[in-house]
Amino acid sequence: MRIDAYLTHLMLLLLVSVAVLHANASQQAQLEKFILSRKGRTSASSKASVHDSGVRVKSGLRYLQAQAGYLGSDQSDLKAADKITALPGQPHVDFDQYSGYVTVNEKHGRALFYYFVEAPQDASSKPLLLWLNGGPGCSSLGFGAMMELGPFRVNPDGKTLSGNKYAWNNQANVIFLESPAGVGFSYSNTSSDYEESGDSRTAEDAYIFLVNWLERFPEYKTRAFYISGESYAGHYVPQLAATILSHNLYNNRTIVNLQGILVGNPYLDDYKNQKGRFEYLWNHGVLSDEAWANITNHCSFNSSDNKLCSEFYGWYDFGPIDPYNIYAPICIDEPDGSYHSSSYLPGYNPCDSYPTVTYLNDPVVQEAFHARKTEWGGCSDLDWKDAPESMVLTLQWLIKHGLPVWLFSGDFDAICPLTATRYSIQDLNISVTTPWRPWTAKMEVGGYVQQYAGGFTFITVRAAGHMVPSFQPERGLILLSYFLKGVLPPYIQEQ
């Protein structure tokens, strides 16, 4: 139960975030608003899961065919139309890139926007990876592609692009999907669709997108396929994975060749995330001993928590820091309208959302992306109708069906911290097969890793925040490479 004082605490946190954090603010604000919206919404849909113990797929493939009327439709000649000649201001590249729309509901006119970048080397043999940002309701194009792991970063002028040497398309062919409809350039011609957003339809639409996209790019139909994302993608990714596996099982054939999922700083469980958050803040000197004692003495972090518990949630002021990375610089707004970073962190710019928004709202850029002319925003206010309280059952179902599941955590994140992820992992009730140990990147400790039965893996990324590819891009790319190989990153000790 989330009540008055807790809501007040979250609203104050939201106001501080909007005031001082820019590259991360809209994603953080979106997640905070989602948590606020969960107040009093414990219903059958929030506790239900999809398929046998986790995944809601109604009657297999035929259900989605009835919903969309567009599954596996003819996509011939659309690939050529989606090819991008060049984005305005981009440097020379030696890979192909595509973008456009895939219709997921013909009756409602609902279409999802994608941006696809192939690998610069050996694209024909590298796997296919789908990236999903969280929110819920935040753009994988604006955040994932332009500020994290895509091949380009927008320069401060908002007009030109520079290359990202740690782009994930060095290891895979990457699709960035703006999902659900109403996010970024994705849209519906039926306005009521925006009032019916939720986990279930997001997974269904993403599945329809994939099946139709593979018709458009048939050379990828049998390619090894992976899903990755961060934050609320802790809901998106497992539910989409379960939808894919369910339809493969239902049809007794491989429709989408899913080989694994990789989710960073995931939002997995309403109560465990809140418990882990406060514990992390206390352990890192942000929360006082008195506030932590009151919370631990009066809160159980479940639906039985009462008003007395929630009153203690607001007993701290963390000041103008970035909860997405409590040690990172923040973006400072000056009275004259200029902005700058409060300090220097190599490779990271806390103000990069400003030029990104400018770039993606340029009509010439939108035309190059084959996007509809519209006002693009990083996150959308969608009325979220359904979301399980926990992803534990879904993760258990995926592990049971043999899917490699890797969760990773930047260890400076206080929004979906590693402490919260650990609590959810405990609920999985699976045994450890490889004990906790360091992993190294260029002779430095890159983080720590532990593996469990069924190949489930938890790995931390040292000195990274919520968006690992932004804060530690090289370590993030190294982690991806080992995930795709299906082996743990090594621990190399100095001789």
Catalytic positions, please? 231, 413, 466
- ∠ at Cα 187 (185, 191), nearest 5°? 145
With tokens 């890793």, the residue in question is: 449
- Alpha-carbon distances of 53 from 49, 205, 241, 246, 400, rounded to whole Å: 6, 21, 14, 12, 10
Q: Is 12 helix (H, G, I), strand (E, B) or coil?
A: helix
Return the beta strands (E) in 133-179 as ranges: 152-154, 161-163, 173-178
Q: For residue 405, what are its two tokens?
A: 């599941």
Q: Is 355 helix (H, G, I), strand (E, B) or coil?
A: helix
What is the residue-wise DSSP string for 262-330?
Answer: EEES---BHHHHHHHHHHHHHHTTSS-HHHHHHHHHH--SSTT--HHHHHGGG-----S--TTSTTS--
Q: Is 239 helix (H, G, I), strand (E, B) or coil?
A: helix
225 alpha-carbon distance from chain centroid: 17
Q: What is the CA radius of gyration of the chain?
A: 21
Question: Which residues face 451 on adjacent strands?
Answer: 434, 457
Cβ(490)–Cβ(439) below 8 Å: yes
- ∠ at Cα 302 (297, 307), nearest 5°? 60
Rounded Cα gap, residues 423 and 37, in angstroms: 23
Show Cβ contacts of residue 175 under 8 Å, excluding neighbours closer than 6 positions: 114, 115, 116, 128, 129, 130, 131, 213
Q: How many CB atoms lie within 10 A of CB 153?
A: 20
In 3D space, the residue among 328, 325, 349, 303 whose CA is nearest the CA of residue 417 turns out to be 325
Enclosing H/E stretch for 445: strand 444-452
**Maximum separation of any 2 CA atoms in the chain, in Å:** 65
Pairing, β 258-264 against β 225-230: parallel
Rounded Cα gap, residues 318 and 322, in angstroms: 9
Amino acid symbol at 77 = D
Give the dihedral of Cα atoms 158, 162, 163, 169; nearest 10 deg: 10
